[in-house]
Amino acid sequence: LNQINTSIKLPLSIKVKNSDNLKVSNFEKILNNTDLIYDFYISKFDMNFIYYQIIFNGTPDNFLKSMSNNDYSFDTQNKQWILE
């Protein structure tokens, strides 16, 4: 019996280079269509990056696997992850 514990709310900070509008648009579509994403919003943007706050109902590994299935990878070396 598979059950999802939606009480787990993992806040993620992700920044995306804003030089590729198609990549940004497709990323937002994936976020909208991913089941375990509770909410996301743009917290700020500057000349180079768009900064997203994502609330994910799962573990970081589950998020990375879900995004990997959609051909997205992240640099997770810092607190704020960077979409590659």
Q: How far apart are CA 51 and CA 81, in angstroms?
A: 10
Q: How far apart are CA 60 and CA 10, in angstroms?
A: 8
Q: For the chain, what's the residue count?
A: 84
Is the pTM above the cut of 0.75? yes
Contact between 11 and 61 (Cβ < 8 Å)? no
Hey, what are 78's tokens?
Answer: 């810092």
Residue 56, pLDDT above cutoff 60: yes
Mean pLDDT within 72-84:
93
Identify the H or E element spanning 55: strand 49-56
3-class SS at 44? strand
Mean pLDDT within 42-60:
94
